[in-house]
Amino acid sequence: MASIVERKNRYCVVYQYDAEDGKRKQKWETYKTMAEAKRRKAEIEYKEELGNLVIPNCKTLEELLKEYVTLYGKNTWAISTYGSNTAMIEHYIVPIIGSMKLNEITSRVLEKYYMSLLKTPAVHKITRKRGSKEVEYVTAATVKKIHNILRSCFHQAVKWDLIEKNPAVYATVPKAEAKKREIWDAPTLFHALEVCEDERLRIAINLAFACSLRIGELLGLTWDCVDISPESIAAGKAYVYVNKELQRVTKNHMEVLEKKDIIRIFPEVKVNNRTVLVLKKPKTATSTRKVFLPKTVAEMLVDWKREQEYTKAALGAEYQDFNLVMANGLGMPTEDSRITSMFKELIAKHDLPCVVFHSLRHSSITYKLKLNGGDIKAVQGDSGHAQATMVTDQYSHILDEDRKANAELFENAFYSGKVMAAEEPEAVEAEPAVAAAVPAGVDPELLMKLLTNPEMAALLKTLAQTIK
Protein backbone atom coordinates (compact mmCIF):
# COMPACT_ATOMS: atom_id res chain seq x y z
CA MET A 1 0.00 0.00 0.00
CA ALA A 2 1.08 3.54 -0.70
CA SER A 3 0.65 6.58 1.52
CA ILE A 4 0.77 10.35 1.02
CA VAL A 5 2.98 12.55 3.19
CA GLU A 6 2.79 16.36 3.05
CA ARG A 7 6.23 17.96 3.24
CA LYS A 8 7.28 21.57 2.46
CA ASN A 9 4.10 22.38 0.52
CA ARG A 10 4.62 19.25 -1.56
CA TYR A 11 2.87 15.90 -1.48
CA CYS A 12 5.00 12.75 -1.38
CA VAL A 13 3.74 9.32 -2.35
CA VAL A 14 5.58 6.75 -0.24
CA TYR A 15 5.55 3.03 -0.97
CA GLN A 16 7.61 -0.15 -0.72
CA TYR A 17 8.96 -2.18 -3.63
CA ASP A 18 11.23 -5.14 -4.32
CA ALA A 19 14.60 -4.02 -5.74
CA GLU A 20 16.65 -6.00 -8.26
CA ASP A 21 18.92 -7.29 -5.50
CA GLY A 22 15.90 -8.84 -3.78
CA LYS A 23 15.82 -6.34 -0.92
CA ARG A 24 12.69 -4.45 0.13
CA LYS A 25 13.16 -0.70 -0.41
CA GLN A 26 11.17 2.46 0.14
CA LYS A 27 10.38 4.95 -2.63
CA TRP A 28 9.38 8.64 -2.34
CA GLU A 29 7.82 10.50 -5.26
CA THR A 30 7.05 14.20 -4.94
CA TYR A 31 4.08 16.03 -6.50
CA LYS A 32 2.93 19.65 -6.46
CA THR A 33 -0.76 18.97 -5.77
CA MET A 34 -2.76 16.54 -3.68
CA ALA A 35 -4.74 15.55 -6.77
CA GLU A 36 -1.56 14.41 -8.59
CA ALA A 37 -0.41 12.50 -5.52
CA LYS A 38 -3.77 10.74 -5.20
CA ARG A 39 -3.70 9.71 -8.86
CA ARG A 40 -0.19 8.30 -8.49
CA LYS A 41 -1.15 6.51 -5.25
CA ALA A 42 -4.12 4.88 -6.97
CA GLU A 43 -1.91 3.90 -9.94
CA ILE A 44 0.71 2.29 -7.66
CA GLU A 45 -1.87 0.34 -5.67
CA TYR A 46 -3.55 -0.84 -8.85
CA LYS A 47 -0.26 -2.05 -10.33
CA GLU A 48 0.67 -3.70 -7.02
CA GLU A 49 -2.62 -5.58 -7.11
CA LEU A 50 -1.89 -6.76 -10.64
CA GLY A 51 1.67 -7.63 -9.73
CA ASN A 52 3.30 -5.45 -12.42
CA LEU A 53 4.60 -2.49 -10.42
CA VAL A 54 7.77 -1.32 -12.16
CA ILE A 55 10.26 1.04 -10.53
CA PRO A 56 12.35 2.97 -13.06
CA ASN A 57 16.06 2.23 -12.81
CA CYS A 58 17.29 4.02 -15.90
CA LYS A 59 20.83 4.98 -16.81
CA THR A 60 20.48 6.13 -20.42
CA LEU A 61 17.93 8.33 -22.15
CA GLU A 62 16.69 5.36 -24.19
CA GLU A 63 15.99 3.40 -21.01
CA LEU A 64 14.22 6.40 -19.53
CA LEU A 65 12.06 6.86 -22.63
CA LYS A 66 10.95 3.21 -22.49
CA GLU A 67 9.85 3.63 -18.88
CA TYR A 68 8.27 6.98 -19.70
CA VAL A 69 6.14 5.52 -22.47
CA THR A 70 5.15 2.50 -20.33
CA LEU A 71 4.35 4.28 -17.09
CA TYR A 72 3.20 7.66 -18.36
CA GLY A 73 2.37 7.59 -22.06
CA LYS A 74 0.07 4.56 -21.98
CA ASN A 75 -1.97 6.09 -19.15
CA THR A 76 -2.08 9.64 -20.46
CA TRP A 77 -1.93 9.82 -24.26
CA ALA A 78 -4.75 9.34 -26.74
CA ILE A 79 -4.21 6.75 -29.47
CA SER A 80 -3.20 9.30 -32.12
CA THR A 81 -0.87 11.07 -29.67
CA TYR A 82 0.68 7.75 -28.67
CA GLY A 83 1.39 6.98 -32.33
CA SER A 84 2.96 10.35 -33.16
CA ASN A 85 5.02 10.57 -29.94
CA THR A 86 6.44 7.05 -30.17
CA ALA A 87 7.29 7.66 -33.84
CA MET A 88 9.29 10.78 -32.98
CA ILE A 89 11.04 8.95 -30.16
CA GLU A 90 11.92 6.10 -32.52
CA HIS A 91 13.09 8.24 -35.46
CA TYR A 92 14.56 11.39 -33.95
CA ILE A 93 15.50 10.90 -30.31
CA VAL A 94 16.77 7.37 -29.67
CA PRO A 95 19.04 7.11 -32.77
CA ILE A 96 20.76 10.42 -32.00
CA ILE A 97 20.98 10.91 -28.22
CA GLY A 98 19.35 7.75 -26.86
CA SER A 99 22.67 6.23 -25.71
CA MET A 100 23.63 9.27 -23.60
CA LYS A 101 23.78 8.92 -19.83
CA LEU A 102 21.12 10.88 -17.97
CA ASN A 103 23.73 12.83 -16.02
CA GLU A 104 25.38 13.90 -19.30
CA ILE A 105 22.29 15.59 -20.67
CA THR A 106 22.27 19.32 -19.94
CA SER A 107 20.43 22.30 -21.35
CA ARG A 108 23.46 23.07 -23.53
CA VAL A 109 23.52 19.49 -24.87
CA LEU A 110 19.83 19.71 -25.74
CA GLU A 111 20.26 23.03 -27.51
CA LYS A 112 23.06 21.59 -29.70
CA TYR A 113 20.85 18.55 -30.37
CA TYR A 114 17.92 20.77 -31.44
CA MET A 115 20.12 22.71 -33.85
CA SER A 116 21.45 19.47 -35.35
CA LEU A 117 17.90 18.26 -35.95
CA LEU A 118 17.29 21.18 -38.32
CA LYS A 119 19.97 19.64 -40.56
CA THR A 120 18.56 16.10 -40.27
CA PRO A 121 16.52 14.63 -43.17
CA ALA A 122 12.90 14.20 -42.15
CA VAL A 123 11.53 10.66 -42.17
CA HIS A 124 9.29 9.89 -45.14
CA LYS A 125 9.88 13.35 -46.58
CA ILE A 126 12.10 12.55 -49.56
CA THR A 127 10.75 13.80 -52.87
CA ARG A 128 11.99 13.55 -56.44
CA LYS A 129 12.01 16.38 -58.95
CA ARG A 130 13.30 15.98 -62.50
CA GLY A 131 15.33 12.92 -61.63
CA SER A 132 17.09 14.55 -58.67
CA LYS A 133 16.51 13.80 -55.02
CA GLU A 134 15.42 16.74 -52.88
CA VAL A 135 15.57 16.17 -49.16
CA GLU A 136 13.23 17.90 -46.72
CA TYR A 137 14.71 18.49 -43.29
CA VAL A 138 13.18 18.40 -39.86
CA THR A 139 11.25 21.62 -39.30
CA ALA A 140 11.37 23.91 -36.27
CA ALA A 141 7.76 22.93 -35.53
CA THR A 142 8.78 19.25 -35.29
CA VAL A 143 11.73 20.19 -33.05
CA LYS A 144 9.25 21.94 -30.75
CA LYS A 145 7.19 18.74 -30.50
CA ILE A 146 10.33 16.72 -29.72
CA HIS A 147 11.26 19.26 -27.04
CA ASN A 148 7.81 18.90 -25.47
CA ILE A 149 8.24 15.12 -25.30
CA LEU A 150 11.68 15.43 -23.67
CA ARG A 151 10.50 18.09 -21.24
CA SER A 152 7.63 15.88 -20.12
CA CYS A 153 9.92 12.84 -19.95
CA PHE A 154 12.52 14.59 -17.79
CA HIS A 155 9.76 15.97 -15.59
CA GLN A 156 8.73 12.41 -14.79
CA ALA A 157 12.39 11.47 -14.21
CA VAL A 158 12.64 14.23 -11.58
CA LYS A 159 9.56 12.86 -9.81
CA TRP A 160 11.07 9.36 -9.95
CA ASP A 161 14.28 10.70 -8.34
CA LEU A 162 16.36 9.64 -11.34
CA ILE A 163 17.68 13.18 -11.94
CA GLU A 164 17.79 16.30 -9.78
CA LYS A 165 16.50 18.83 -12.31
CA ASN A 166 14.86 18.97 -15.72
CA PRO A 167 17.47 19.98 -18.35
CA ALA A 168 14.78 20.79 -20.92
CA VAL A 169 13.26 23.60 -18.85
CA TYR A 170 15.97 26.12 -19.70
CA ALA A 171 16.90 24.81 -23.15
CA THR A 172 16.26 27.27 -25.99
CA VAL A 173 14.15 25.86 -28.78
CA PRO A 174 14.42 27.05 -32.42
CA LYS A 175 11.54 29.39 -33.11
CA ALA A 176 8.93 28.07 -35.49
CA GLU A 177 7.08 30.60 -37.61
CA ALA A 178 3.34 30.17 -37.37
CA LYS A 179 1.75 29.57 -40.74
CA LYS A 180 -1.31 31.65 -41.43
CA ARG A 181 -4.21 29.52 -42.61
CA GLU A 182 -6.16 31.02 -45.50
CA ILE A 183 -9.92 31.11 -45.09
CA TRP A 184 -12.97 31.84 -47.21
CA ASP A 185 -14.99 34.96 -46.63
CA ALA A 186 -18.78 34.65 -46.50
CA PRO A 187 -19.48 35.50 -50.19
CA THR A 188 -16.96 32.85 -51.33
CA LEU A 189 -18.38 30.26 -48.95
CA PHE A 190 -21.96 30.70 -50.10
CA HIS A 191 -20.93 30.77 -53.74
CA ALA A 192 -19.25 27.39 -53.13
CA LEU A 193 -22.47 26.07 -51.59
CA GLU A 194 -24.47 27.28 -54.61
CA VAL A 195 -22.27 25.43 -57.11
CA CYS A 196 -21.79 22.31 -54.94
CA GLU A 197 -23.65 19.42 -56.56
CA ASP A 198 -23.02 16.73 -53.94
CA GLU A 199 -25.59 16.87 -51.14
CA ARG A 200 -23.34 15.09 -48.61
CA LEU A 201 -20.54 17.61 -49.17
CA ARG A 202 -23.02 20.51 -48.95
CA ILE A 203 -24.27 19.26 -45.58
CA ALA A 204 -20.68 18.79 -44.38
CA ILE A 205 -19.71 22.35 -45.36
CA ASN A 206 -22.76 23.83 -43.66
CA LEU A 207 -22.19 21.89 -40.42
CA ALA A 208 -18.47 22.70 -40.32
CA PHE A 209 -19.19 26.41 -40.82
CA ALA A 210 -22.33 26.80 -38.69
CA CYS A 211 -21.17 24.63 -35.78
CA SER A 212 -17.37 25.17 -35.82
CA LEU A 213 -16.82 21.40 -36.02
CA ARG A 214 -13.57 19.53 -36.58
CA ILE A 215 -13.88 17.07 -39.44
CA GLY A 216 -13.63 14.07 -37.10
CA GLU A 217 -16.44 15.49 -34.92
CA LEU A 218 -18.55 16.15 -38.00
CA LEU A 219 -18.15 12.62 -39.37
CA GLY A 220 -18.72 11.08 -35.93
CA LEU A 221 -22.12 12.72 -35.37
CA THR A 222 -24.97 10.30 -34.72
CA TRP A 223 -28.69 11.05 -35.00
CA ASP A 224 -29.29 10.41 -31.30
CA CYS A 225 -27.12 13.48 -30.63
CA VAL A 226 -29.08 15.75 -32.99
CA ASP A 227 -32.28 17.55 -31.97
CA ILE A 228 -34.11 18.78 -35.07
CA SER A 229 -37.68 18.30 -33.90
CA PRO A 230 -40.24 20.82 -35.24
CA GLU A 231 -40.69 22.23 -31.73
CA SER A 232 -36.97 22.79 -31.23
CA ILE A 233 -36.53 24.39 -34.65
CA ALA A 234 -39.49 26.73 -34.07
CA ALA A 235 -38.12 27.75 -30.67
CA GLY A 236 -34.56 28.23 -32.01
CA LYS A 237 -33.30 25.39 -29.80
CA ALA A 238 -32.23 22.84 -32.43
CA TYR A 239 -28.73 21.56 -31.70
CA VAL A 240 -26.03 18.95 -32.23
CA TYR A 241 -24.31 17.33 -29.26
CA VAL A 242 -20.63 16.61 -29.88
CA ASN A 243 -19.41 13.72 -27.73
CA LYS A 244 -17.35 11.55 -30.11
CA GLU A 245 -15.26 11.67 -33.26
CA LEU A 246 -14.46 9.42 -36.20
CA GLN A 247 -10.81 8.51 -36.57
CA ARG A 248 -8.64 5.93 -38.31
CA VAL A 249 -6.16 4.46 -35.84
CA THR A 250 -3.35 1.92 -35.95
CA LYS A 251 -4.49 -1.48 -34.68
CA ASN A 252 -1.27 -2.10 -32.80
CA HIS A 253 -1.47 1.22 -30.95
CA MET A 254 -5.12 0.55 -30.11
CA GLU A 255 -4.24 -2.81 -28.60
CA VAL A 256 -1.27 -1.41 -26.66
CA LEU A 257 -3.56 1.17 -25.08
CA GLU A 258 -6.19 -1.52 -24.45
CA LYS A 259 -8.78 0.23 -26.68
CA LYS A 260 -8.77 3.29 -24.44
CA ASP A 261 -11.52 5.82 -25.30
CA ILE A 262 -12.83 3.56 -28.12
CA ILE A 263 -16.63 3.57 -28.41
CA ARG A 264 -17.09 1.51 -31.57
CA ILE A 265 -14.85 -0.35 -34.03
CA PHE A 266 -16.30 -0.44 -37.55
CA PRO A 267 -16.13 -3.49 -39.81
CA GLU A 268 -13.04 -3.63 -41.99
CA VAL A 269 -13.40 -3.27 -45.73
CA LYS A 270 -9.88 -4.53 -46.51
CA VAL A 271 -8.32 -7.62 -44.95
CA ASN A 272 -4.94 -7.48 -43.25
CA ASN A 273 -5.19 -3.70 -42.85
CA ARG A 274 -2.82 -2.09 -40.34
CA THR A 275 -5.45 0.49 -39.41
CA VAL A 276 -9.11 0.45 -38.47
CA LEU A 277 -11.90 3.04 -38.40
CA VAL A 278 -13.30 3.80 -34.93
CA LEU A 279 -15.63 6.06 -33.02
CA LYS A 280 -13.79 7.41 -30.00
CA LYS A 281 -14.19 9.94 -27.25
CA PRO A 282 -13.32 13.50 -28.31
CA LYS A 283 -9.96 15.23 -28.20
CA THR A 284 -10.39 16.86 -24.78
CA ALA A 285 -13.07 17.06 -22.10
CA THR A 286 -14.02 20.54 -23.32
CA SER A 287 -14.58 19.13 -26.80
CA THR A 288 -17.81 17.55 -25.51
CA ARG A 289 -20.37 20.29 -26.07
CA LYS A 290 -23.78 21.32 -27.35
CA VAL A 291 -23.83 23.60 -30.40
CA PHE A 292 -27.08 25.27 -31.42
CA LEU A 293 -28.06 25.15 -35.09
CA PRO A 294 -29.18 28.02 -37.30
CA LYS A 295 -32.76 27.37 -38.39
CA THR A 296 -31.80 26.96 -42.06
CA VAL A 297 -29.13 24.35 -41.27
CA ALA A 298 -31.54 22.48 -38.98
CA GLU A 299 -34.09 22.29 -41.82
CA MET A 300 -31.35 21.01 -44.16
CA LEU A 301 -30.72 18.19 -41.70
CA VAL A 302 -34.42 17.36 -41.61
CA ASP A 303 -34.38 16.90 -45.40
CA TRP A 304 -31.10 14.97 -45.26
CA LYS A 305 -32.48 12.57 -42.62
CA ARG A 306 -35.62 12.00 -44.67
CA GLU A 307 -33.55 11.08 -47.73
CA GLN A 308 -31.39 8.80 -45.60
CA GLU A 309 -34.52 7.00 -44.32
CA TYR A 310 -35.69 6.47 -47.94
CA THR A 311 -32.31 4.92 -48.83
CA LYS A 312 -32.39 2.71 -45.77
CA ALA A 313 -35.86 1.41 -46.61
CA ALA A 314 -34.92 0.81 -50.26
CA LEU A 315 -31.73 -1.15 -49.49
CA GLY A 316 -33.13 -3.15 -46.60
CA ALA A 317 -30.58 -5.57 -45.12
CA GLU A 318 -27.83 -4.25 -47.41
CA TYR A 319 -27.84 -0.99 -45.48
CA GLN A 320 -25.58 -1.16 -42.41
CA ASP A 321 -27.19 1.24 -39.99
CA PHE A 322 -24.75 2.79 -37.52
CA ASN A 323 -27.02 5.82 -36.98
CA LEU A 324 -24.39 8.14 -38.52
CA VAL A 325 -25.47 11.57 -39.79
CA MET A 326 -22.75 11.59 -42.46
CA ALA A 327 -23.13 7.92 -43.45
CA ASN A 328 -22.36 6.91 -47.03
CA GLY A 329 -24.91 5.31 -49.32
CA LEU A 330 -24.64 1.96 -47.54
CA GLY A 331 -24.73 3.33 -43.98
CA MET A 332 -20.99 3.02 -43.38
CA PRO A 333 -18.87 5.96 -42.13
CA THR A 334 -17.65 8.59 -44.55
CA GLU A 335 -13.91 8.98 -44.06
CA ASP A 336 -12.22 12.36 -43.86
CA SER A 337 -10.12 11.50 -46.92
CA ARG A 338 -13.34 11.24 -48.95
CA ILE A 339 -14.64 14.61 -47.76
CA THR A 340 -11.23 16.19 -48.35
CA SER A 341 -11.06 14.79 -51.87
CA MET A 342 -14.57 16.03 -52.75
CA PHE A 343 -13.75 19.45 -51.32
CA LYS A 344 -10.59 19.70 -53.45
CA GLU A 345 -12.57 18.72 -56.57
CA LEU A 346 -15.12 21.45 -55.83
CA ILE A 347 -12.36 24.06 -55.54
CA ALA A 348 -10.64 22.95 -58.75
CA LYS A 349 -13.85 22.70 -60.80
CA HIS A 350 -15.11 26.17 -59.90
CA ASP A 351 -11.76 27.97 -59.54
CA LEU A 352 -12.34 28.79 -55.87
CA PRO A 353 -9.60 30.10 -53.53
CA CYS A 354 -7.48 27.15 -52.42
CA VAL A 355 -8.14 26.30 -48.75
CA VAL A 356 -8.35 23.08 -46.74
CA PHE A 357 -11.58 21.76 -45.23
CA HIS A 358 -10.44 22.67 -41.71
CA SER A 359 -10.40 26.31 -42.83
CA LEU A 360 -14.20 26.26 -42.61
CA ARG A 361 -13.82 25.93 -38.84
CA HIS A 362 -11.51 28.97 -38.89
CA SER A 363 -14.06 30.93 -40.97
CA SER A 364 -16.79 29.93 -38.54
CA ILE A 365 -14.93 31.11 -35.45
CA THR A 366 -13.82 34.32 -37.17
CA TYR A 367 -17.35 35.31 -38.14
CA LYS A 368 -18.79 34.36 -34.77
CA LEU A 369 -16.29 36.68 -33.08
CA LYS A 370 -17.20 39.39 -35.57
CA LEU A 371 -20.97 39.06 -35.21
CA ASN A 372 -21.11 38.76 -31.40
CA GLY A 373 -18.79 41.69 -30.76
CA GLY A 374 -15.84 39.58 -29.59
CA ASP A 375 -17.58 37.36 -27.02
CA ILE A 376 -14.70 34.89 -26.74
CA LYS A 377 -16.30 32.63 -24.10
CA ALA A 378 -19.42 32.11 -26.22
CA VAL A 379 -17.30 31.19 -29.24
CA GLN A 380 -15.15 28.91 -27.08
CA GLY A 381 -18.31 27.07 -26.06
CA ASP A 382 -19.04 26.33 -29.73
CA SER A 383 -15.46 25.53 -30.75
CA GLY A 384 -14.66 23.24 -27.82
CA HIS A 385 -11.23 24.71 -27.14
CA ALA A 386 -9.72 23.97 -23.75
CA GLN A 387 -8.35 27.52 -23.45
CA ALA A 388 -9.93 30.78 -24.57
CA THR A 389 -6.56 32.03 -25.85
CA MET A 390 -6.70 29.38 -28.59
CA VAL A 391 -9.72 31.17 -30.01
CA THR A 392 -7.93 34.50 -30.31
CA ASP A 393 -4.42 33.29 -31.10
CA GLN A 394 -5.17 30.65 -33.70
CA TYR A 395 -8.56 31.26 -35.19
CA SER A 396 -9.57 34.91 -35.10
CA HIS A 397 -8.57 35.95 -38.60
CA ILE A 398 -8.81 39.68 -39.40
CA LEU A 399 -11.16 40.24 -42.28
CA ASP A 400 -10.34 42.90 -44.90
CA GLU A 401 -13.80 44.41 -44.62
CA ASP A 402 -13.21 45.05 -40.91
CA ARG A 403 -9.85 46.67 -41.62
CA LYS A 404 -11.51 48.92 -44.21
CA ALA A 405 -14.14 49.82 -41.63
CA ASN A 406 -11.38 50.85 -39.21
CA ALA A 407 -9.98 53.23 -41.83
CA GLU A 408 -13.44 54.72 -42.40
CA LEU A 409 -13.92 55.24 -38.67
CA PHE A 410 -10.61 57.12 -38.43
CA GLU A 411 -11.51 59.21 -41.49
CA ASN A 412 -14.83 60.25 -39.98
CA ALA A 413 -13.42 60.82 -36.50
CA PHE A 414 -10.19 62.66 -37.22
CA TYR A 415 -9.69 63.65 -40.86
CA SER A 416 -13.03 64.75 -42.27
CA GLY A 417 -13.42 67.81 -40.06
CA LYS A 418 -16.29 66.34 -38.08
CA VAL A 419 -14.33 66.41 -34.86
CA MET A 420 -13.73 69.83 -33.30
CA ALA A 421 -10.10 70.78 -33.10
CA ALA A 422 -8.75 71.06 -29.63
CA GLU A 423 -8.87 74.63 -28.32
CA GLU A 424 -5.52 76.29 -28.16
CA PRO A 425 -4.64 77.45 -24.65
CA GLU A 426 -4.62 81.24 -24.22
CA ALA A 427 -1.16 82.73 -24.19
CA VAL A 428 -0.25 84.09 -20.80
CA GLU A 429 1.83 87.21 -20.93
CA ALA A 430 4.79 86.82 -18.68
CA GLU A 431 5.39 89.54 -16.16
CA PRO A 432 8.59 91.48 -16.81
CA ALA A 433 11.41 90.36 -14.61
CA VAL A 434 12.99 92.84 -12.29
CA ALA A 435 16.01 94.18 -14.10
CA ALA A 436 19.25 93.86 -12.23
CA ALA A 437 21.53 96.84 -12.11
CA VAL A 438 23.91 96.82 -15.05
CA PRO A 439 27.23 98.62 -14.72
CA ALA A 440 27.73 101.64 -16.90
CA GLY A 441 29.31 100.92 -20.26
CA VAL A 442 28.16 97.26 -20.36
CA ASP A 443 25.86 96.02 -23.13
CA PRO A 444 22.79 94.46 -21.34
CA GLU A 445 22.02 91.98 -24.22
CA LEU A 446 25.60 90.75 -24.41
CA LEU A 447 25.65 90.31 -20.63
CA MET A 448 22.48 88.19 -20.73
CA LYS A 449 23.95 85.95 -23.41
CA LEU A 450 27.09 85.42 -21.35
CA LEU A 451 25.10 84.58 -18.22
CA THR A 452 22.92 82.05 -20.05
CA ASN A 453 25.99 80.17 -21.30
CA PRO A 454 26.48 77.20 -18.91
CA GLU A 455 30.28 77.24 -19.23
CA MET A 456 30.47 80.97 -18.60
CA ALA A 457 28.13 80.67 -15.64
CA ALA A 458 30.36 78.00 -14.10
CA LEU A 459 33.43 80.16 -14.66
CA LEU A 460 31.83 83.18 -13.01
CA LYS A 461 30.76 80.98 -10.07
CA THR A 462 34.34 79.80 -9.60
CA LEU A 463 35.69 83.34 -9.75
CA ALA A 464 33.14 84.50 -7.21
CA GLN A 465 34.24 81.83 -4.76
CA THR A 466 37.87 83.03 -5.00
CA ILE A 467 36.94 86.58 -4.06
CA LYS A 468 37.02 87.13 -0.36
Q: What is the 3-state secondary structure (H, E, C) of 243-275?
A: CCEEEEEEHHHHHHCCCCCEEEECCCCCCCCCE
Q: What is the per-residue pLDDT for 188?
A: 94
- CATH, residue 70: 1.10.150.130
Q: Are residues 204 and 338 in the same domain?
A: yes
Does 305 reside within a domain?
Answer: yes
Does 460 reside within a domain?
Answer: no
Is pLDDT larger for residue 175 or for residue 428?
175
Q: How far apart are CA 378 and CA 392, in angstroms?
A: 12
Q: Are residues 44 and 61 in the same domain?
A: no
pLDDT > 90: what percent of the chain? 52
Q: Please state, rounded to an integer, the average pLDDT across all residues of the chain.
A: 83
pLDDT digits (tens, 9 = 90+) for 211-259: 989 999 999 999 999 999 999 999 999 999 999 999 999 999 999 999 9
Domain boundary at 367, 385, 404, which? Answer: 404
What residues contact residue 46 under an 8 Å CB cut-off, 6+ apart?
Answer: none
Q: Are residues 134 and 165 in the same domain?
A: yes
Q: Are residues 86 and 137 in the same domain?
A: yes
Number of domains in the chain: 3
CA-based torsion, 177, 181, 185, 188: positive or negative: positive
Q: Are residues 11 and 122 in the same domain?
A: no
Domain boundary at 351, 386, 404, which? Answer: 404
Does 394 reside within a domain?
Answer: yes
Q: Are residues 203 and 336 in the same domain?
A: yes
* Residue span of the structural domain in which 106 resides: 56-179
Q: Are residues 105 and 142 in the same domain?
A: yes
Q: Is pLDDT above 90 for 120?
A: yes
Q: How far apart are CA 260 and CA 82, in angstroms?
A: 11
pLDDT digits (tens, 9 = 90+) for 390-407: 555 555 555 566 666 767
Q: Are residues 120 and 166 in the same domain?
A: yes
How many Cα atoms are found within 13 Å in the side-chain-facing hemisphere of 375? 8
| Identity of the amino acid at 6 | E
The pTM for the full model equals: 0.71
H-state helical runs in 165-294: 186-195, 199-211, 215-219, 230-234, 251-256
Q: Are residues 307 and 381 in the same domain?
A: yes
| Identity of the amino acid at 33 | T
Q: Are residues 145 and 196 in the same domain?
A: no
Does 236 reside within a domain?
Answer: no
- CATH, residue 359: 1.10.443.10
Q: Are residues 163 and 74 in the same domain?
A: yes
